[in-house]
A and B are shown apart, each in its own frame.
Chain A
């Protein structure tokens, strides 16, 4: 059974940093891209970053480029999202999601339950 589980959220002050983790199991982890999608309270879905199975291809939304860094450790079946220079508008529930196919398709078929990030003083 495919499982995806996020952790690392919490309350952080503006300008602060946080690292989110995504643990995955139930599939050949190194073969699949993983994406991060966030949802601000009461709002819609916003894609923020994806990383290919090998880690060689990485993309970011403009809203986080230069502040967030995605990485993965295929030996541990983990993906990370390092978030620096956090702003109030980064407050959201952050989801980690698995790509549907082994080649990146940007279609997410398994999602975690999310980890909440609150940026506030």
Chain B
């Protein structure tokens, strides 16, 4: 199985900061990497798929990059509503679909 490892596990940022979350795959997943946002008590929401394509309705301050085993989610100019937990997920070698352990983002 492909293991997905995110860093950091949590971070705190101020409004307007640039935030970067990293996701590493245990082996190459090409560009089959997705990002989800989950707010407390809510279902996950697809933000970005195949590394860098924004899901419809997602603000342009979100962006993704990377390939093979290393990927990043960047929020340029973080907003209060961006607080929550972010998960990466690989869809290259399935089953199983695997998720990272999550990165909790707090807005100061």
Interface residues, chain A, CB within 8 Å of chain B?
35, 37, 44-47, 50, 59-62, 95, 97, 100, 105-109, 111-114
Contacts and interface: CB of A to CB of B under 8 A. Distances in A.
Interface residues of B, number: 23
B49 to A, nearest CB: 5
B87 A109 contact: no
Contacts of B96: 47, 59, 61-62
Given A45-B44, A100-B46, A105 B97 contact: no
Interface of B: 34, 36, 38, 42-46, 49-50, 55, 87, 89, 91, 94-102
A106 B87 contact: no
A60 B95 CA distance: 7
Given A59-B94, A105-B91, A107-B91, A44 B45 contact: no
A2 B91 CA distance: 22
